[in-house]
């Protein structure tokens, strides 16, 4: 790990992650430890900046609150142990016994000992080492986060830290966006997640508050990174070879005159127009239709960067029904979809059914008491009527739909009426959409280090249920929202491969890609590598960003263009791959048989043939399942 003086993201993610349990855990036999270092490690590698008020001291850190789940079946066991280090002599020891689900399933909490004020800048300082792990990497991990109290549970920083058996120092800057009384704000360690048992120690924990006397950027921080980032990482060559094999094909153009004679030594120019693979972004319908300079720029930028799109919110049930105010209406949505179709942009619909009580529209809430077992069965037909209505209205414009969204956390209707209702939704969609692709979509499959094994297994089981019961599902959506806790590139490939092996007939798409960090270099590198690994897998059909302009992005730091329309490094990484590295134009002459042969990326092309000083232009496409031997006649 390197230390650098760079800005730290202040990641605001609203997520209900309350704790439960009394923190009491039974005595268990500890796994065999990794041998500790023979010599004490050195003290801090950097000087902690002066002027910080200590909001968590070393003694306070050793007396945390713990929420570790059911006492009879705990997520983890917590103890204080002696430690050999130049800067501290005791540490928290955490034995992770049940590493499934989200990292916050088990939590260790340290309340701040003083009130804090909006815009205060703080620095978390700690050391971390692994003493046992069943992971092949030999490293353990824990998630450090700072979180507001209920009901918001706003995370002001979220950072996964890792180490092997040596103590690794971490410095994590953070800035707070509101006032908190003493004890309201807490430094937390999320000890769940993953599928490997592990034991680790955290020592030297301290939190300094600099108020507003320093900038966030001026504080030291442990540099962020991810597995596979190195320019010589082994995965890169294999990915390039796969791209050459699965994203390109040989083609030939035969040029003849009107009498059927081959035109030899004839000059031609072939220009690539668009990829067959989908490189896309969602849009806001009101912004796409807005008649303003920003609206003009929005449309221009969309077409310059993306060949696939869809609306971010406009096709969700509540806004479609008019419940989200004047910015959302069906006439505007249809106009936006028509604009996309007119401009030859492949379009996704999101989403037909988001089956939790909280995400269903107000118009059906009277059917949905808090207890799903008491739900009114009449709502089943209301859902089917909605699917019929929206698919009838949009079938001329939408090429594919997310039929079912986030079933892991959104399952009220399944709890109420059984899993078979999911089959009804897919079958109803197919009635009006005989050719369109039909997807399931969920989050936390690739993100969070790729360690949410419970979520991943539930997703596989759900897809298996749909397939076994003949639901007309054709694709798997992997949402791909990333914070600073970035998943190793090889782990992303392994997860894609897992679902491909389980369901080889289904297409796989990254449906909601963004990287929410202020570290623009990290963001750009991960964007480059994520696109590369996805493009290299033969089962994938596209990557859709969840917005591109900071002026209309749910997480503005995740955008590719700033508020004033300046392209960011991640936008440049996107463009360089798609329109330079993975782009090809050709020029040359036909041979003695009137044939021109080449190998190019699958997609749409335009060929210009010059005969007797006259230029004749033809469009053509090449594809993996197409006859790529084409003939053109010059009249």
Task: Give the pLDDT confidence score for residue 162 in this predicted structure.
Answer: 86
Start-to-end CA span in the chain (Å)? 66
Strand order in the sheet with 140-147: 65-67, 107-111, 186-190, 140-147, 155-163
DSSP string, 305-322: H-SEEEESSTTSHHHHTT
Has residue 15 got a pLDDT over 50?
A: no
Query: How many whole angstroms separate alpha carbon 64 and alpha carbon 349?
Result: 47
Q: How sure is the predictor about 429, in pLDDT bands with cuts at 50, 70 and 90? A: very high
DSSP conformation class of 374 = G
Residue 260, burial from CB neighbour count under 10 angstroms (0-12, 13-18, 19+): exposed
Has residue 477 got a pLDDT over 90?
A: yes
Average pLDDT over residues 516-544: 96
H or E, element range at 189 = strand 186-190
Share of residues in the chain with pLDDT > 70 (%): 92
Has residue 45 got a pLDDT over 80?
A: no
Share of residues in the chain with pLDDT > 90 (%): 81
Task: Give the pLDDT confidence score for residue 398 in this predicted structure.
Answer: 98
Global confidence as pTM? 0.82
Residue 200 tokens, joined: 């680790």
Task: Give the pLDDT confidence score for residue 224 in this predicted structure.
Answer: 87
Task: Give the pLDDT confidence score for residue 611 in this predicted structure.
Answer: 95
Q: What is the pLDDT of residues 578-616, one digit of tens each?
A: 999 999 999 999 999 999 999 999 999 999 999 999 999
Query: How many whole angstroms separate alpha carbon 361 and alpha carbon 381?
Result: 15
Task: Give the pLDDT confidence score for residue 136 in this predicted structure.
Answer: 62
Identify the residue whose tokens are 């599902």.
473
How many Cβ atoms sit within 10 Å of the Cβ of residue 464? 12
Q: How sure is the predictor about 484, in pLDDT bands with cuts at 50, 70 and 90? A: confident
Q: How sure is the predictor about 22, in pLDDT bands with cuts at 50, 70 and 90? A: very low
Has residue 33 got a pLDDT over 70?
A: no
Query: How many whole angstroms separate alpha carbon 327 and alpha carbon 287?
Result: 9
Residue 111, helix vs strand vs coil: strand
H or E, element range at 270 = strand 267-275
Q: What is the pLDDT of residues 51-62, one digit of tens each?
A: 999 999 988 999
How many Cβ atoms sit within 10 Å of the Cβ of residue 548? 28
Query: How many whole angstroms separate alpha carbon 435 and alpha carbon 277?
Result: 18
Q: What is the pLDDT of residues 114-134, one digit of tens each?
A: 999 999 999 999 999 999 887
Count each helix (H run) and each strand (E run) in the chain, helices first.
13, 29
Task: Give the pLDDT confidence score for residue 46 in this predicted structure.
Answer: 60
Q: What is the pLDDT of residues 332-367, one digit of tens each?
A: 999 999 999 999 999 999 999 999 999 999 999 999
Task: Give the pLDDT confidence score for residue 82 in this predicted structure.
Answer: 96
Residue 67 tokens, joined: 């929420």
Average pLDDT over residues 544-555: 97
Task: Give the pLDDT confidence score for residue 135 in this predicted structure.
Answer: 73
CB neighbour list of residue 209: distance below 8 Å, 6 or more residues apart: 52, 53, 54, 55, 114, 116, 120, 121, 122
Torsion sign over Cα 131, 133, 135, 140: negative
Q: What is the pLDDT of residues 269-301, one digit of tens each?
A: 999 999 999 999 999 999 999 999 999 999 999
- Supply the mean pLDDT for the chain: 91
Q: How sure is the predictor about 452, in pLDDT bands with cuts at 50, 70 and 90? A: confident
Residue 167, burial from CB neighbour count under 10 angstroms (0-12, 13-18, 19+): buried
Q: What is the pLDDT of residues 612-631, one digit of tens each?
A: 999 999 999 999 999 999 99
Query: How many whole angstroms separate alpha carbon 282 and alpha carbon 288?
Result: 10
H or E, element range at 243 = helix 235-246
Cα-based torsion angle of the residue sequence 518, 522, 523, 525 in order, rounded to the nearest 10 degrees: 160
Altogether, the residues listed in the chain come to a count of: 635
Contact between 606 and 617 under an 8 Å Cβ cutoff? The reply is: yes
Has residue 91 got a pLDDT over 60?
A: yes
Query: How many whole angstroms separate alpha carbon 313 and alpha carbon 329?
Result: 11
CB neighbour list of residue 235: distance below 8 Å, 6 or more residues apart: 228, 489, 490, 493, 533
Contact between 110 and 223 under an 8 Å Cβ cutoff? The reply is: no
Cα-based torsion angle of the residue sequence 463, 467, 471, 474 in order, rounded to the nearest 10 degrees: 70
How many Cβ atoms sit within 10 Å of the Cβ of residue 500? 18
Task: Give the pLDDT confidence score for residue 1 in this predicted structure.
Answer: 39
What percent helix, strand, coil does the chain show, rounded to 5? 25, 30, 40
Question: Buried b vs exposed e over 123-138: b needs ≥16 C-beta within 10 Å?
Answer: bbbbbbbbbbbebeee
If one compares 302 and 16, the residue with the highest pLDDT of the two is 302
Has residue 5 got a pLDDT over 80?
A: no
| Cis omega (within 30 of 0) for bond into 162 | no
Torsion sign over Cα 549, 437, 276, 605: negative
User: 507-515 and 481-482: which strand pairing?
Assistant: parallel
Task: Give the pLDDT confidence score for residue 248 in this predicted structure.
Answer: 98
Q: What is the pLDDT of residues 359-397, one digit of tens each?
A: 999 999 999 999 999 999 999 999 999 999 999 999 999
Residue 231 tokens, joined: 């320019």
Task: Give the pLDDT confidence score for residue 137 in this predicted structure.
Answer: 66
Query: How many whole angstroms separate alpha carbon 2 and alpha carbon 478?
Result: 32
CB neighbour list of residue 26: distance below 8 Å, 6 or more residues apart: 71, 72, 74
Query: How many whole angstroms separate alpha carbon 613 and alpha carbon 513?
Result: 48
Q: How sure is the predictor about 104, in pLDDT bands with cuts at 50, 70 and 90? A: confident
Identify the residue whose tokens are 């540490």.
91
| Cis omega (within 30 of 0) for bond into 256 | no
Query: How many whole angstroms separate alpha carbon 78 and alpha carbon 199?
Result: 10
Contact between 594 and 262 under an 8 Å Cβ cutoff? The reply is: yes
Task: Give the pLDDT confidence score for residue 23 in this predicted structure.
Answer: 33
């Amino acid at each position: 790990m390197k230390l650098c003086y760079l800005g730290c993201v202040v990641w605001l993610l609203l997520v209900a992650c309350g704790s439960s349990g009394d923190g009491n855990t039974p005595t268990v036999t500890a796994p065999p430890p990794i041998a500790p270092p023979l010599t004490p490690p050195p003290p801090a590698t950097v000087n902690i900046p002066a002027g910080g008020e200590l909001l968590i001291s070393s003694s306070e850190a050793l007396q945390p609150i713990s929420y570790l789940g059911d006492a009879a079946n705990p997520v983890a066991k917590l103890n204080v142990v002696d430690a050999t280090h130049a800067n501290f002599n005791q540490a928290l020891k955490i034995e992770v016994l049940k590493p499934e689900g989200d990292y916050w399933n088990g939590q260790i909490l340290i309340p701040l000992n003083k009130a804090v004020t909006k815009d205060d800048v703080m620095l978390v300082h700690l050391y971390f080492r692994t003493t046992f792990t069943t992971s092949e990497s030999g490293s353990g991990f824990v998630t450090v986060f700072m979180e507001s109290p209920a009901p918001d549970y706003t995370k002001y920083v979220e950072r996964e830290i890792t180490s092997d058996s040596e103590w690794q120092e971490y410095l994590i800057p953070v800035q707070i966006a509101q006032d908190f009384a003493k004890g309201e704000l807490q430094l937390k360690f999320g000890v769940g997640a993953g599928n490997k048992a592990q034991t680790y120690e955290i020592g030297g924990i301290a939190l300094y508050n600099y108020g507003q006397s320093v900038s966030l950027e001026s504080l030291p921080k442990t540099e962020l990174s991810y597995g596979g980032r190195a320019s010589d990482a082994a995965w890169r060559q294999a990915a390039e070879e796969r791209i050459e094999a699965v994203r390109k094909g040989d083609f030939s153009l035969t040029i003849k005159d009107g009498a059927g004679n081959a035109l030899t030594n004839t000059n031609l120019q072939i220009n690539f127009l668009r990829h067959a693979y989908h490189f896309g972004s969602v849009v806001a319908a009101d912004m796409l239709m807005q008649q303003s300079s920003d609206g003009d720029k929005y449309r221009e930028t969309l077409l310059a960067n993306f060949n696939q799109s869809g609306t971010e919110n406009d096709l969700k049930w509540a806004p479609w029904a008019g419940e989200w105010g004047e910015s959302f209406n069906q006439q505007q949505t249809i106009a936006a979809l028509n604009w996309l179709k007119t401009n030859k942009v492949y379009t996704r619909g999101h989403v037909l059914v988001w089956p939790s009580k909280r995400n269903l529209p107000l118009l059906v809430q009277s059917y949905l008491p808090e207890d799903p077992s008491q739900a009114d069965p009449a709502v089943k037909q209301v859902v089917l009527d909605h699917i019929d209505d929206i698919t009838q209205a949009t079938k001329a414009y939408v090429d594919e739909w997310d039929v079912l969204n986030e079933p892991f956390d959104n399952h009220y209707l399944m709890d109420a009426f059984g899993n078979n209702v999911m089959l009804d939704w897919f079958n109803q969609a197919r009635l009006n959409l005989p050719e369109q692709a039909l997807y399931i979509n969920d989050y936390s499959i690739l993100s969070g280090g790729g360690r949410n094994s419970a979520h991943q297994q539930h997703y596989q089981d759900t897809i298996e249920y749909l397939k076994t019961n003949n639901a007309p599902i054709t694709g798997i959506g992997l949402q791909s929202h990333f914070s600073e806790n970035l998943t190793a590139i090889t782990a992303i490939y392994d997860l894609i491969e897992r679902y491909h092996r389980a369901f080889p007939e289904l297409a796989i798409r990254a449906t909601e890609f963004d990287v929410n960090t202020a570290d623009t270099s990290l963001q750009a590198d991960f964007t480059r590598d994520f696109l590369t690994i996805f493009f290299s897998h033969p089962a994938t059909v596209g990557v859709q960003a969840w917005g591109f302009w900071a002026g209309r992005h749910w997480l503005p730091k995740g955008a590719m263009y700033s508020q004033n329309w300046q392209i960011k490094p991640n936008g440049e990484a996107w463009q360089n791959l798609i329109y330079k590295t993975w782009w090809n134009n050709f020029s040359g002459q036909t041979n003695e048989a009137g044939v021109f042969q080449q190998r190019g990326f699958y997609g749409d092309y335009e060929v210009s043939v010059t005969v007797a000083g006259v230029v004749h232009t033809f469009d053509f496409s090449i594809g993996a399942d197409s006859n790529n031997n084409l003939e053109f006649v010059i009249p």
